[in-house]
Amino acid sequence: MNRFLIVTALLFSLAAAAAAQDRELARIILTEPIGLARSREYVKLSLQAEAWALADSHAALLAIDAATQRAIPCQVFNQQLSANGEAVIFSVIFPVTLQAGETKILSLRTSHESGSRSQPVTDLLLEGKGTELRIANKFYVADLRRSERAEPQSHASGQIRELLIEEFNQLLTNAEDRLHWAPNFKRPGMEYYTTIAHWNEPRVQAIDNGGYLIQTRRQDLAPGHPEILLTAVYSFYAEVPYFEFYSSMEVTEDLWLELLRNDEMTMDSMFTHLAFQRPEGEIVDVPFSERYEMLQQRPIENEAPWLCFYHAEKQYAFGSIRLQYDLTNALGEPSPTYQAHTQIGEWLGGIKYWNRRLIHDHLTFVPKGSRYVERNAYVVFRIGAPQRFEAIENLARQLRNPIRVSVLPQ
């Protein structure tokens, strides 16, 4: 018995010693792809390792530049353990600076050195828990909490209800609903469409809170549409004027829809102008009062790289940069759409909205296996002079052409 205890203790000690060793988890190549210098741009990648590789709470993960040996602290998030407990899949994020066209090789290593475990101090702040969250950085404050001021705001959905633009102390609100209530859907026989903002405590919820990234992940059946499995992910970053929203609508059973929309922001009367970029590069800038006839002749394409609302005198602006738009179904074919376009609207005394219409007011059969995926960056910025849209143009060019990441074989 004593011999058994000694052997067990020895094996445990050896395992602990192995876990305590600094270890290279991956070597990666970063490449700037379009000749645009990058300053502290976030790099994200997913990796897989033995489960014990991340089990040591006393170790940090560092990205070490092979040329300079400069170490960048990493944030690990979205860890998923295999069913047998032997492997872990996880994501990593860290900021990096690259010159135009530059390539760097980095080593991702665990470290037990004193001081390496301390995460960088940033402007990112999280308050609350579950779906009742308030998330801020120096550019904005996003309020995801419920409110009793209007029935659609009272659900525990985890969607953004209002957004404060810090530079202007300008609060973006929607008196009738939440600021961000898409995706939304409507089947035949329903009097009104339902939205993601009608979720009440979605079945799957997870939050990662770190110095670089606060991410919320939610998944459940779409309200009033159990044939649609809906996934929603917010990503809020430190030190940058944007956040991202990823959504996936997976159709698990055949259904008919009269309406299907995404990428929607709805705000009270706070803006005077609309601007957007056509897919071929033309920038259109027009007062709201003059938009109707122009958009009737040629609606905004769903592939438009970016669009924004702004106030001409006060100079604040809020826009959407389109990063991913994928309608591929389970068989690799396009999922059904009808008159797909981006709609700009105004109602109830000045409430303004944009949305991406996938099925536009037409009864449409949507078979099992259909899938609608989007990822958009929502950005707050100041209208410039003389290049009025320089801020969103530059950010769109950067985010739509991210640093390329290649993982080298071990």
Q: What's the whole-number average pLDDT of the chain? A: 93
Using one digit for the tens of pLDDT, what is the confidence trace for 299-332? Answer: 999 999 999 999 999 999 999 999 999 999 999 9
Q: Does residue 226 sit within a domain? A: yes
Question: Is 361 a residue whose pLDDT tops 80?
Answer: yes
Percent of the chain at pLDDT exceeding 90: 85
Strand partners, 343: 355
Same domain for 298 and 381? yes
Residue 324 lies in a domain: yes
pLDDT at 132 over 90: yes
Q: Does one domain contain both 140 and 246?
A: yes
Amino acid at the residue 342: T
- In this prediction, residue 168 carries a pLDDT of 98
142 in Cβ contact with 242 (< 8 Å): no
Tell me the C-alpha to C-alpha distance, in Å, between residue 206 and each of 51, 110, 132, 284: 20, 25, 13, 39
Q: Which of 135, 95, 92, 89 is nearest to 110 (CA)?
A: 92
Using pLDDT thresholds of 50, 70 and 90, give the confidence band for residue 351: very high
CA distance 39 to 100: 10
Residue partners of 245: CB distance under 8 A and separation at least 6: 180, 232, 233, 234, 235, 374, 375, 376, 378
Q: Which whole number is the average pLDDT over 240-269? A: 98
Q: Which two tokens stand for residue 4?
A: 């058994």
**Domain C-terminal end among 58, 81, 115:** 115
Would you say how long the chain is, in residues?
A: 410
Q: Single out the residue in 79, 97, 115 at which a domain terminates.
A: 115
Asked if residue 147 and residue 91 are part of one domain, the reply reads: no
- Amino acid of residue 135: I
| 177 and 111 in a common domain | no
> C-alpha distances in angstroms, 64 versus 69, 109, 114?
6, 7, 16
The alpha carbon dihedral of 298, 301, 307, 309 has a sign of positive
* Final residue in a domain of this structure, among 62, 91, 115: 115
User: What global pTM score does this model have?
Assistant: 0.93
| Same domain, residue pair 159 and 277 | yes
In a domain, 405, yes or no: no
pLDDT tens track for 47-98: 999 988 888 777 889 999 999 999 999 999 999 999 999 999 999 999 999 9
Residue 248 maps to a domain = yes
Q: Choose among 201, 155, 148: nearest CA to 181.
A: 155
- pLDDT given for residue 118 in this prediction: 59
User: What is the model's pLDDT at position 10?
Assistant: 42
294 and 333 in a common domain: yes
Question: According to the model, what pLDDT value does residue 317 have?
Answer: 98
Q: How confident is the model at residue 13 (pLDDT cuts 50, 70, 90)?
A: very low
Q: Are residues 44 and 175 in the same domain?
A: no
Same domain, 336 and 206: yes
DSSP letters for 197-221: GG-SS-SEEEEEE-SSEEEEEEEEE
Q: Domain check: are 232 and 162 in the same one?
A: yes
Any idea what the CATH number is for the domain that residue 287 is in?
2.70.98
Tokens of 397: 């060019």
Number of domains in the chain: 2
Res 120: pLDDT:
80
pLDDT of amino acid 20: 57
Report the pLDDT value the prediction gives residue 55, as an integer from 0 to 100: 81
How far apart (Å, rounded) are the C-alpha atoms in residues 270 and 179? 13
User: In this structure, is residue 275 part of a structural domain?
Assistant: yes
Q: How confident is the model over 284-300, as pLDDT tens digits?
A: 999 999 999 999 999 99
Residues with Cβ within 8 Å of residue 274, at least 6 apart in sequence:
284, 285, 286, 287, 288, 291, 307, 308, 309, 344
Indicate whether 8 pLDDT > 50: no
Pair 237, 97 in one domain? no
Distance CA 151, CA 148 (A): 6
Q: Is residue 66 part of a domain?
A: yes
pLDDT (0 to 100) of residue 9: 47
Backbone angles phi, psi at 178, to 5 degrees: -85, 155
For 100, the domain range is: 23-115
Tens of pLDDT, residues 136-193? 999 999 999 999 998 889 999 999 999 999 999 999 999 889 999 999 999 999 999 9
**Are both 233 and 330 inside the same structural domain?**
yes
Give the mean pLDDT of 401-409: 97
Looking at residue 41, what is its pLDDT? 98
**93 and 153, same domain (yes or no):** no
β-sheet bridge partners, residue 286? 274
Look at residue 391 and tell me if it is in a domain: yes
Assess if residue 17 is contained within a domain. no
CATH code for the domain of 64 = 2.60.40.1180
- Residues 325 and 386: their CA atoms lie apart, in Å, by 31
